[in-house]
């Protein structure tokens, strides 16, 4: 079998006495779409933070393409192809969309220090940024600034920046958070254009999106894996219904 792109083994994290990640194991293969769900405070964002190196785990290992990166910094993980977006937007509000994508390409290529050279000196980067924006159907907003964009479009900018880092694994922390229903389709369309070989893990509270998008769903409750399986199985899972879906449906 192919080496998983991402392999998490027996990951644990405690904040003081509070255990927020309990023995979580997971593997993600090329082309796989995994949905990570669970009630508020279940430890979803913490798990992503452990995987990306924003937080050190208390124990356990994280492997990227077979390489142990448990103690690697965030930048090294990005270079190895692990890229994430945040639950709360982290965009520069007043830089144009195009510039932000170009900047991410410069970051990837290590040419940031030279970015004050005229843009014409980097036609390859400019063309690559244009291609990313075209693929995500964002050319119309390429010269806008995030503060002038609708929230759904801002989420797209984050995805474009993430794609500029050439991920093998992309972690999306609630791409629909704060997106009004009228703008959701824009985000859905963009997600549908992502390369099929990408390994994708998405945290999302929108069950319709998760169940239509994911090949596999991992359910966290109180930091531990409650269930891990294909959507149809998760839907029937009694403990999941009780811990999560039941409460959602009851809302
Ligand atoms: N830096 C921290 N210090 C202490 N406790 C933390 C810290 N970060 C998270 N926690 C706690 O860890 C638990 C899991 O939080 P986390 O943000 O991972 O949940 P989540 O599943 O992403 O929730 P949500 O659906 O609300 O985004 C919560 O009880 C939270 O209060
Ligand atoms: Mg969260």
3-state secondary structure (DSSP) of residue 189: helix
Span from the CA of 45 to the centroid of ligand 2 (angstroms):
4
Q: Give the pairing type, strands 82-85 and 169-173.
A: parallel
Which of 1-15, 17-31, 104-118, 136-150 shows the lowest mean pLDDT across its residues? 104-118
Domain count, the chain: 1
36 is a domain residue: yes
What rounded mean pLDDT belongs to the chain? 90
CA separation for the pair 37, 204 (Å, rounded): 6
Ligand nearest to the CA of 36: 1
Span from the CA of 14 to the centroid of ligand 2 (angstroms):
16
Stronger pLDDT, 117 or 72, i.e. the higher one: 72
**Ligand 1, residues 11, 20, 42, 54: which to mutate, most atoms within 8 A of Cβ?**
20
Q: What is the pLDDT of residues 41-62, one digit of tens each?
A: 999 999 999 999 999 999 999 9
Q: Give the pairing type, strands 216-221 and 224-229.
A: antiparallel
**Ligand 1, residues 19, 22, 44, 221: which to mutate, most atoms within 8 A of Cβ?**
44
In this structure, the residues whose C-beta lies within 6 A of any atom of ligand 1 are 15, 18, 20, 38, 40-46, 87
Question: For 208, which DSSP code?
Answer: H
* DSSP E strand boundaries for 16-66: 18-28, 33-37, 59-64
Question: For 16, which DSSP code?
Answer: T
Span from the CA of 86 to the centroid of ligand 2 (angstroms):
9
At 177 the pLDDT is 86
1 is a domain residue: no
CB-CB contact of 101 with 129 (8 Å)? yes
Question: On the CB side of 78, how many CA atoms lie within 13 Å of its CA?
Answer: 19
Instruction: Please report the atom of ligand 1 found closest to the CA of residue 48.
Output: 18
CATH number for the domain that contains residue 246: 3.40.50.300
Range of the domain at 42: 6-250
At 227 the pLDDT is 95
Q: Is 81's pLDDT higher than 70?
A: yes
Radius of gyration of the chain (CA): 18
Ligand nearest to the CA of 50: 1
Of 48, 42, 31, which Cα lies nearest the Cα of 175? 48
């Amino acid at each position: 079998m192919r080496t998983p792109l991402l392999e998490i083994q027996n990951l644990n994290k405690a904040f003081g006495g509070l255990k927020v990640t309990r023995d979580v194991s997971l593997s993600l293969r090329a082309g796989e779409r995994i949905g990570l769900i669970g009630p508020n405070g279940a430890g979803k964002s913490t798990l992503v933070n452990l995987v990306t190196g924003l937080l050190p785990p208390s124990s356990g290992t994280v492997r990227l393409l077979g390489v142990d990166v448990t103690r690697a910094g965030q930048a090294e993980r990005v270079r190895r192809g692990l890229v994430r977006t945040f639950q709360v937007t982290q965009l520069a509000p007043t830089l144009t969309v195009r510039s932000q994508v170009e900047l991410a390409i410069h970051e990837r290529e290590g040419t940031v220090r030279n970015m004050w050279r005229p843009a014409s000196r980097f036609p390859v980067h400019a063309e690559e940024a244009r291609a990313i924006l075209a693929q995500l159907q964002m050319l119309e907003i390429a010269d806008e600034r995030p503060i002038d964009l609708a929230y759904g479009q801002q989420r797209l900018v984050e995805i474009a920046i993430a794609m500029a880092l050439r991920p093998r694994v992309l972690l999306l922390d609630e791409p629909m958070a704060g997106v009004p229903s009228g703008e959701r389709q824009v985000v859905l369309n963009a997600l549908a254009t992502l390369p099929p070989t990408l390994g994708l893990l998405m945290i999302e509270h929108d069950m319709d999106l998760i169940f239509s998008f994911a090949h596999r769903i991992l359910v966290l409750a109180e930091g531990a894996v409650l269930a891990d399986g294909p959507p149809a199985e998760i839907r029937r899972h009694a403990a999941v219904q009780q811990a999560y879906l039941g409460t959602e449906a009851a809302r």
